Structure 1
Amino acid sequence: MKAKSNLGIWMDHSIANLIDIDARKECGSIASNFTSDTKEDALNKSENLMHNKRQQMNEKFYDTIGAQILKYNHVLLFGPTNAKVELHNYLNKDSHFKNIKIDVVSSDNITDNEQVAFVKNHFAKV
């Protein structure tokens, strides 16, 4: 079923930009529902509630990204925060992802064009 090979995902805790170089375009973005407003609402009730809500929403965010990753053989996770590492750890717990090569690389906040170039450059080296 896996027809596609390489996917780059620039991400932080609020958004993930999916970049498929073979498709020659950005595949779109996936936004987290855990916004600063959600955080503030939950924090006003209790810190524990806020942490639980963040964890649930991050898992939903990671599940949505994971559903896209399953379509590929090789994935690059990159971005400025530790969200990429959290996603990688989350995916490692699921056997569906065991045959997918996942690279995790730090990068700065970069423009959409720089993200595409970063992904092209990474997979050109591999």
Structure 2
Amino acid sequence: MKINSNLGIWMDHSTANLIDINSKHKDQSIVSQFTSETKEDALNRSESLMHNKRQQMQGKYYDKIGAQILKYKHVLLFGPTNAKVELHNYLNKDSHFKNIEIDMESSENITHNEQLAYVKNHFETV
């Protein structure tokens, strides 16, 4: 597997936009399967079911993001929610990620072009 150098990930609990500014490929998005409809449906049955379902689906979401992170040496996690912190904690439990440098920053809900600029700026100053 080819290891790339830098990846930026703008994320919240529902979507992760993966931005590799050196790639010729289109940026990729990963979407969580835990939607508001799923939450509502599970909550109608029981609160513990909703929490279990959320944990299970968030785990799958973080696994998909993690599979992409393994292809890089340096990753920036940024976004408006604590999803980036949850992902970082999730990855810290797995030794596969120990040699990957992971930065975290808070940002607002920003457009795709602003996300690109944010990632470019971050890796130019690191």
TM-score (norm 1): 0.97
The DSSP-based 3-state class of the residue aligned with 1:18 is strand
Residue 26 (structure 1) shift: 4.7
- What is the alpha-carbon root mean square deviation over aligned residues? 1.0
Structure 1, gaps ≥5 residues long: none
Which residue of the partner structure matches residue 40 of structure 2? 40
- Cα shift readout 1:74-119 (whole Å, capped 9, x = no counterpart): 0000000000000000000000000000001000000000000000
Count of aligned positions: 126
Which residue of the partner structure matches residue 81 of structure 1? 81
TM-score (norm 2): 0.97
Residue 25 (structure 1) shift: 5.7
Q: Which runs of 4+ in 1 moved over 4 A?
A: none
The DSSP-based 3-state class of the residue aligned with 1:23 is coil
The DSSP-based 3-state class of the residue aligned with 1:5 is strand
Using the alignment, how far apart are the partners of 1:7 and 1:46 within structure 2? 39
Which residue of the partner structure matches residue 71 of structure 2? 71
Structure 2, gaps ≥5 residues long: none
Using the alignment, how far apart are the partners of 2:34 and 2:62 within structure 1? 12
Identity %: 77
